[in-house]
Amino acid sequence: MGIGAVAAMRYVKDGIKAAKLVMDHTEHTLLVGEKATSFAISMGLAGPADLSSPESIEKWTIWRQNHCQPNFWKNVVPAGSCGPYHPIDVPSGESKASAKHVLEWTQGDICQGLFEPNNLLEPVNPHLKSINRHNHDTISMAVIDKMGHVAVGTSTNGATFKIPGRVGDGPIPGSSAYADDEVGACGATGDGDIMMRFLPCYQVVESMRRGMEPRDAALDAILRIARKYPDFVGAVFAINKKGVHAGACHGWTFQYSVRNSSMQDVEVITVAH
């Protein structure tokens, strides 16, 4: 049950190395923010460094020119700009018209189209807030060594255009990764803001502990999320201590890769929704 994690850590490239330093050299589970950066640099990792690339700067510039759309804000004004934002209470049905008037007065025509039946102050465009395969970059990996020890790790930059300070499922124990030598391991990727509410990898490992095969355990975890959030995008892989593996996904076609000592090359497994 050894664990280490960092979150919201800026200016240090090797987040996964910093997480292992937390595991190996502290009694803590999770370090965050600027103090996580200071810890990583003090332990020998390179930094502070500018982690921007020409591609990321170009993407950010285009986003700013598009009035910071899409983004992850909701129930705020002004909804169609780069802020600063202010909260607006979701009104009751009888005051819906007045709320619409307030928003239109604040933003002019920018709010037209945001109001749909039963969808007050929620974006019409479902991609405005969602995390999908085009805007995040999670990598999760599990390893079983020759002694039977199981390890798993996850690294991610998070969601593109996230609100500063946002922490996703990557560093949350049991959400994007979980492992137990007695059972096996799980890794996850997708809409971490949704998935972390369910701790899917903890569930997968515990399901395997109770006798479920990896495929059934992975599918059960995904379906539990889908019942509550039918539009979410995500996937998990599961591997038991014998090396039997499987994956399950929702909202996309997911691929994971496998290699063991008897294989000449990596095998890529495709899992269809």
Active site residues: 138
One DSSP character per residue, 162-215 reads PPTT---STTSBTTTEEEETTTEEEEEEE-HHHHTTT-HHHHHHHHHHTT--HH
Residue 152, SS3? strand
Tokens of 117: 């039946």
Q: Is 153 marked as a binding-site residue?
A: no
Q: Is 167 marked as a binding-site residue?
A: yes
Q: Is 168 marked as a binding-site residue?
A: yes
Q: Is 243 marked as a binding-site residue?
A: no
The values of phi and psi at residue 150, to 5°, are -115, 135
Q: Is 192 marked as a binding-site residue?
A: yes
Whether the upstream peptide bond of residue 173 has omega within 30° of 0, thus cis, is no
Nearest to 159 by CA among 229, 78, 59: 59
Q: Is 83 marked as a binding-site residue?
A: no
Annotated binding site for substrate: 166-169, 189-192
Annotated binding site: 166-169, 189-192
